[in-house]
Amino acid sequence: MEQVKIAPSMLCADFRRLEEEVAALSAAGVDWLHFDCMDGQFVDNLTYGPLVLEALREGCELYFDAHLMMLNPGRHLRAFANAGADGICIHRETVSGPAGLLDKIKGMGCQAGLAFNPATPLEGLEAIIEYCDYVLLMSVEPGYAGQRFMPGVLKRIEQVRKLIDRAGLDTLIQVDGGITAETARQVIAAGANVLVSGSFFFGHPEGYRAAAEALRGAAQ
């Protein structure tokens, strides 16, 4: 299985000093930066758009993961691709037939992700898994940081892991919500390999490098 990747959620970064935050995260040895791009419609919050990614892209070589929590993600794919996103993730709840949009994302030179809220059935994923470079399983309700991890996601991770392995694909499984050193061990054991962490990571008393090491240690 793919080595575990650490993806701090920029929703918990200090918005007053994002450029410094990105530099510190890069120095801490993280792999991805996870941008929760919320439109105020699919979820209550309104965060940031492609201009923020574009501003931070210069001089940063980390993987930029644009998680589009938007009702109409298709309208914004090109803007995020042009802004420097490496991966663009759309929500299953927002599109009736995601294969076309996932293929469009790939055509823009980005990796394509498909996200599922905790209550969204996984039925139908097998038919479109080949279009997904990664599958994002939410382990909290989307929209707010600091929520408690929902253990029910563990069975969903196992289900998707079996599906991917059966298909012989290298699709990644990303988990977002309530990720700490303790829950990281559980989701990795279930088959996940990309950990999105917000409150735990940015609030770690020993700093970002220690937070990254704690999450990587869960893979041991």
Per-residue pLDDT tens digits for 118-161: 999 999 999 999 999 999 999 998 766 667 899 999 999 999 99
Residue 99 lies in a domain: yes
Structural domains of the chain, count: 1
- For 77-116, what is each residue's pLDDT tens digit? 999 999 999 999 999 999 988 999 999 999 999 999 999 9
The reply to whether 138 falls in a domain is yes
Verify whether residue 170 is a known catalytic residue.
no
pLDDT band at 220 (very low <50, low <70, confident <90, very high): confident
- Give 57's DSSP letter: H
Structure tokens at 161: 């892991």
The average confidence (pLDDT) of the chain is 95
What are phi and psi for residue 90, nearest 5 degrees? -110, 160
Q: Note whether residue 10 is domain-resident.
A: no
User: CATH code at 95?
Assistant: 3.20.20.70
Amino acid letter for position 69? M
pTM of the model: 0.95
Q: Which of 31, 36, 39, 133 is catalytic?
A: 36
Is 8 contained in some domain? no
Catalytic, 44? Answer no
Q: Which domain holds residue 28?
A: 15-217
Residue 7 lies in a domain: no
Name the active-site residue from 39, 86, 133, 176. 176
- Report yes or no on 5 lying in a domain: no
d(CA 194, CA 137): 10
Q: In the chain, pLDDT over 90 holds for what percent of residues?
A: 91
User: From CA 146, how far away is CA 132, in angstroms rounded?
Assistant: 28
Backbone angles phi, psi at 77, to 5 degrees: -60, -50
Q: 84 lies in a domain? A: yes
